[in-house]
Amino acid sequence: MTIGDRIKQLREEKKITQEELAKHIDSTKQTIHKYENNIVTNIPSDKIEMIAYALESTPAYLMGWTDKRNDDVKTPSLYKALDKLDIKDNELTEDEISSIINFVNFMRNNKK
């Protein structure tokens, strides 16, 4: 089974469209199509990692290094929260990122 086959199989099992997966990895539906149909096989490692998280799997499974899907892997809540914000790469300034980090630290320190 190729990496494209694994991506497509997991995506379909999760009932996620190519467009939705593309949004998760800040890409396009056409790129996902190319990955799934093995038109593009040299997928950047950062994209493989993002795809794995979006499909609740691991990069090792997608790459074919293991047959264990890790169905128990869940997308970290932080990724889910960030996805709800619909923030694209390089959309925030360093000051904005710093403010977000400060806010999260403030929230952690004030938990009761």
Model confidence over 64-99: pLDDT tens digits?
Answer: 998 877 755 555 666 667 667 777 667 888 888 888
71 assigned to some structural domain: no
21 assigned to some structural domain: yes
pLDDT exceeds 80 at position 4: yes
pLDDT exceeds 80 at position 54: yes
Number of C-beta neighbours around residue 5 at 10 A = 13
30 assigned to some structural domain: yes
Q: How many domains are there within the chain?
A: 1
pLDDT exceeds 80 at position 52: yes
109 assigned to some structural domain: no
Q: Where are the alpha helices (DSSP H) in the chain?
A: 3-13, 18-24, 29-36, 45-54, 59-63, 77-85, 94-109
Q: Mean pLDDT throughout 41-45?
A: 91
pLDDT exceeds 70 at position 24: yes
95 assigned to some structural domain: no
More confident residue, 8 or 101: 8
The CATH code of the domain that includes 47 is 1.10.260.40
For residue 58, the enclosing domain spans 3-63
88 assigned to some structural domain: no
pLDDT exceeds 90 at position 2: yes
